[in-house]
């Protein structure tokens, strides 16, 4: 892209020829909340504490407990880390009690870890006063994950902490898209039916059309009209191949909206792992993505703009934020009864964000 065009994107969040009405990338001040923190990288002697409560950590625990249980529990089919979430859920409710005991043991240890990690976050200045934690990510999309979350909630209460913990209300495939509404200025959706949203993760890429009722500012009427999903980890693409694939998904959805006469706003809301610079590059924390996405030599918003510069004849704006922040923002409508709240997302890693509600 020419330097002149790049400067326009930096100034206008991706839109050329028109003034942008969006918060800057990685913004702390959003229409409904202040983002107090995100992507906190807390450590202990063993490394990042979030690594103890990630999806990978649960599967490591499962394998460890399976090995330890070999001589103690008779199981027809010993559960292991390569089983899908649906298969693990089936073991929990099936007739093989030995296998169920192994899965239940992994759930209990994982819940203990998740509770301990949450307590460590709650001791941080930017998390003090948090009254409720919403937990999302891929593991939440399972009976195993929901039991672990609810068990962690009990453990927080047993630790005399007046903090609730609940699974995110929306399906994990949709929360990271619906939350993108909160990245947009309140009047952006005026006279439009929906917008494009992207959720970039260490295992999956999701792109969808989010529709809302036009006067809905909190997202309680938001729904994903159409979703495209790519499990990129199975194919191990490079960065440019992944971005090209994502560009194809965006164009397919824009064409679908045109056929269905859905009026898309000329904006794209994007959630991506890492610490986001205000002009659209990723400072750090994107190590699970395919290829190298970090550093000033790669600007994600510019790369997306190149692949879909216009929607409905209008030059687009792009709003980029951390993926855990955006997943949490899908809960804005459900968190209005508390002053401060937070989100943890259990995926390839463990995402984190904390918020203070604003008067709107």
With H, G, I as helix, E, B as strand and everything else as coil, classify residue 265: strand
For the ranges 9-13, 26-30, 78-82, which has the lowest average pLDDT?
A: 9-13
Q: What is the mean predicted confidence (pLDDT) over 82-91? A: 92
Whether 326 and 195 have beta carbons less than 8 Å apart is answered as no
Q: How many Cα atoms occupy the beta-carbon half-sphere of 202 within 13 Å?
A: 19
With H, G, I as helix, E, B as strand and everything else as coil, classify residue 13: coil
Q: How many Cα atoms occupy the beta-carbon half-sphere of 51 within 13 Å?
A: 11
For the ranges 35-39, 63-67, 250-254, which has the lowest average pLDDT?
A: 63-67
pLDDT for 23: 62
Q: Give the pLDDT confidence of 337-360 residue by residue, as tens digits.
A: 999 999 999 988 899 999 999 998
Superfamily for domain range 3-30+171-330: ATPase, nucleotide binding domain (3.30.420.40)
Q: Which residues make up the CATH 3.30.420.40 domain(s) of the chain?
A: 3-30+171-330
Torsion of CA 37, 41, 45, 50, to 10 degrees: 90
Mean model confidence pLDDT for the chain: 89
Could you give the residue ranges of the DSSP H alpha helices within the chain? 3-12, 55-68, 85-93, 97-122, 143-158, 172-178, 239-259, 300-307, 323-329
DSSP states of 176-240:
HHHGGGGGS-TTTTTT-SEEEEEEE-SS-EEEEEEE--TT-SS-TT-EEEEEEEE-GGGT---HH
pLDDT for 75: 64
Q: Give the pLDDT confidence of 183-239 residue by residue, as tens digits.
A: 998 788 888 999 999 999 988 999 999 998 877 777 888 999 999 999 998 899 999
Q: Give the pLDDT confidence of 122-142 residue by residue, as tens digits.
A: 999 999 999 999 999 988 889
For the ranges 4-8, 212-216, 276-280, 331-335, which has the lowest average pLDDT?
A: 4-8
Residue 19, pLDDT > 90, answer no
Residue 324, pLDDT > 50, answer yes
CA distance 253 to 258: 9
CA distance 17 to 256: 26
pLDDT for 90: 94
pLDDT for 14: 41
Beta strand 282-284 with 275-276: parallel, antiparallel or unpaired? antiparallel
CA distance 189 to 229: 24
pLDDT for 308: 96
CA 178 to chain centre: 10
First-last CA distance in the chain: 39
pLDDT for 10: 39
Percent of the chain with pLDDT over 90: 74
CA distance 163 to 135: 13
Whether 113 and 325 have beta carbons less than 8 Å apart is answered as no
Whether 139 and 148 have beta carbons less than 8 Å apart is answered as yes
């Amino acid at each position: 892209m020419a330097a002149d065009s790049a400067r326009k994107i930096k100034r206008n969040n991706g839109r050329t020829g028109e003034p942008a009405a969006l918060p800057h990338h990685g913004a702390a001040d959003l229409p409904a909340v202040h983002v107090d923190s995100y992507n906190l990288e807390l450590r202990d002697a063993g490394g990042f504490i979030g690594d103890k409560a990630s999806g990978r950590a649960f599967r490591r625990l499962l394998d460890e407990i399976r090995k330890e249980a070999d001589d103690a529990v008779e199981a027809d089919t010993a559960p292991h880390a390569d089983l899908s979430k649906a298969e693990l859920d089936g073991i929990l409710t099936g007739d093989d009690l030995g296998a169920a005991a192994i899965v239940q043991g992994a759930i209990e240890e994982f819940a203990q870890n998740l509770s301990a990690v949450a307590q460590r976050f709650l001791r941080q200045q930017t998390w003090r006063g948090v009254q409720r934690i919403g937990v999302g990510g891929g593991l939440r999309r399972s009976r195993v994950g929901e039991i672990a979350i609810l068990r962690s909630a009990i453990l927080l209460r047993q630790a005399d902490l007046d903090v609730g913990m609940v699974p995110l209300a929306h399906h994990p495939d949709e929360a990271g898209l619906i939350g993108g509404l909160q990245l947009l200025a309140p009047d952006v959706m005026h006279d439009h039916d929906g917008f494009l949203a992207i959720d970039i993760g260490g295992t999956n890429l999701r792109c969808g059309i989010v529709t809302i009722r036009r006067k809905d500012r909190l997202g309680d009427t938001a729904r994903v009209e159409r979703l495209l999903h790519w499990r990129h980890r199975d194919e191990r693409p490079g960065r440019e191949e992944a971005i090209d694939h994502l560009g194809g998904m965006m164009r397919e959805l824009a064409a679908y909206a045109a056929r269905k006469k859905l009026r898309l706003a000329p904006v794209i809301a994007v959630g991506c792992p890492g610490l986001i610079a205000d002009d659209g590059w990723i400072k750090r924390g994107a190590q699970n993505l395919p290829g190298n996405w970090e550093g000033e030599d790669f600007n994600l918003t510019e790369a997306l703009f190149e692949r879909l510069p216009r929607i409905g004849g209008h030059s687009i704006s792009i709003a980029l934020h951390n993926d855990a922040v955006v997943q949490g923002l899908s809960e804005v409508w459900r968190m209005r009864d508390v002053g401060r709240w937070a989100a943890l997302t259990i995926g390839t890693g463990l995402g984190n964000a904390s918020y203070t509600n604003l008067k709107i």
